[in-house]
Structure 1
Amino acid sequence: MTQIAKLALEDGTVFTGTAWGAIGERDGEVCFNTSMTGYQEILTDPSYRGQIVTMTYTEMGNYGVNLEDLESEKPHLAGFVVKQLSQRPSNFRSQQSLHDYLARHGIVGIAGIDTRALVRRLRTQGAMKGVISSIDLDNESLVRKAKNSPGLVGRDLVREVMPTAPRNWTEGLNTWAKLPLESNPAFADKQLHVVALDYGMKWNIARHLSDEGCRVTILPGTATAEEVLSYEPDGVFLSNGPGDPEPLVYAQDCIRGLLGEVPVFGICLGHQLLGLAAGAKTFKLKFGHRGANQPVQNLLTGKIEITSQNHGFAVDDTTLPACLEVTHRNLNDNTVAGLRHKEFPAFSVQYHPESSAGPHDSRYLFRQFREQMLAQEAATPSS
């Protein structure tokens, strides 16, 4: 027997559909992603913590789920909304159905609603707090719960997804083969040591750093600058992560202590935190940028990059201090998509160059980070 589920928004709108995945109830900010594929990478991206994700493409689950395409150990989002769920996954790499995967990890889903109407409402009104439930089907009750839910602004969600202890990363790209400590043999002449501050990092980022010949040490995002520097890194990476960057004062303080000491490269939340640490401010976007088809212009080269993005906040370019230069712009709304520090070797982008899932246009940024570390080492007098 088909079980009913409902999705209620804080503005009083209620959608009725079919329950799938886990049976239960979760609240979160309702957002949408325009990717046609890559749902497994979206589900396991820690940046979606606290969000109910709506996919705009009409069918999800058609190629199932496999263990190689995970971006973290488990799904982190609050709920998953689709127009149609494929009941028969067909792919030689598939190991289980999307329904079974979500049920196993306790993620509540709803299917069969008019996702086009939902997305039009979110684009018009902005991202809203919501509740997805297959146990409480009372409209008034659900709307009340949506209104009373905490939302994203002002919350520190990083502490809910970051690792609790340091670890050494051992995987590269392609087959995710285990790497020796010397990493990619193409860079055997000089192995660089990168400390990655994990605020909710996608695994493919660490794989890219490894493929650039780097030994990668991952530290919790709460690490101090003194703790980071005690590992004697050649560079520091600032990862993606969920939610509002402004409450993360500990991360901003750490980054300030690192600027000028080692080269720094930030992605997504790491980009926002670098901006805040340098003196800029951030703001909440109306409905965010989430998808694998976001156009960005590199202002330094003039080239256009198609990028994968997932964020609901952005750096406010009207607050940029003199030490920061905008290097990339989102061509959909002209928001800041990249920054460069004018005094210290530090840069960041608002999108995901690790291309999982998404286009490969921006992978050059990892090579740029490596070159920056080598230049810094060459410019540092030997003791």
Structure 2
Amino acid sequence: MNAEEYLETARRFRREIVEPNAAQWEAEKRQPVAALKQAADAGLMRLETPVEAGGFGLSFLTKLALCEDMSRADMPFIFALINTQNVAARLSATPNPAHQADYVPRILSGDLFAATALSEPGAGSDFAGITTRATKVDGGWELTGEKGWITNAEIANLFVTYAQCDPDAGWRGVGSFLVDATRSGFTRVEPYALSGGHGIGAGGFKLDSYFVADEDVLGGPGDGFKSAMSGVNGARVYVAAMCAGLVADALNKAVSYGATRTAFGEPLLNHQGLKWSLADVATELEAMRTLTHAAGVLIEEGGDAVTRAAQAKKFATERAVSLIEACIQAMGANGLREEHGLGRHLISAKILGYTDGSIEMMNERIGAALQKEYAS
């Protein structure tokens, strides 16, 4: 399946499965497991996994297009899907053939959900400050600690987990390990009741002397941190794409409403105040897309995307809430009706402002590059 075919399949899936059911999924406060398995059946989990490992080997820019389009219907759904497929793509590149033979096919088929566990109840943006400890033992490592704010924690049974191997070494001591939730020493924490975001399945787990064999170490001390930061840059860019999808859908509904609803004898869209307000939304949406694409190109080409990824996420998450609010305002009280989904979009935009680094942390990343990139 090429990129065009994949994206058409995704658009059809959005229209037929996600759009009609997203509000109900949130009302039931659960992850839509059946729909995620349907997405796997449609091939959507195979996005970035190489062809030789059973995937489609599609580009990061295709990933961005998927994230924007699917977010028009339901951001939590695509967030859960992307985070599972991320692990399949990651494991397809490990030197352990057992990962490729066992875990990857099960993720691609929807028989196994997966997640990445970086954050902890007391460590988010300060990733080097994680306290989950990995201790070397015969044949592997023992992990003890607690992870929190993990996407898919409600349903995943496989976690790429980051732990500190040497507290005195700071980030240089962070390693990454493959954790199977069905094994001894793993305890799942009750999923968080996340307003408007139950489909993400955010939650956590505790590890008590959990044994990881040497062959399930994905990155030793220092390497784990580097791979995590690389993944975070990519995540910041696809989060920006998700924001663009939320705003695009809100704008579409506001413009359509304004073209048909009349006031004072003519369509609302003919009134300068509303028309200019939506013109501002349209302009900022295109700016959001441009920043996201520029960062996405750097990710795809293997360039240094730290600053551009932070700028894309900062602008997108900082502006999305206000832009969706403007679209709701353009529709008056009708904009609050559940059938339009703009209330869910508003909360989703707020959630995205905290994922993979807050706006304040994006300012830190951008600020650190000011002299290098903006001083002559």
Q: TM-score, normalised by structure 1?
A: 0.24
Q: TM-score, normalised by structure 2?
A: 0.25
More strand by share: 1
More helix by share: 2
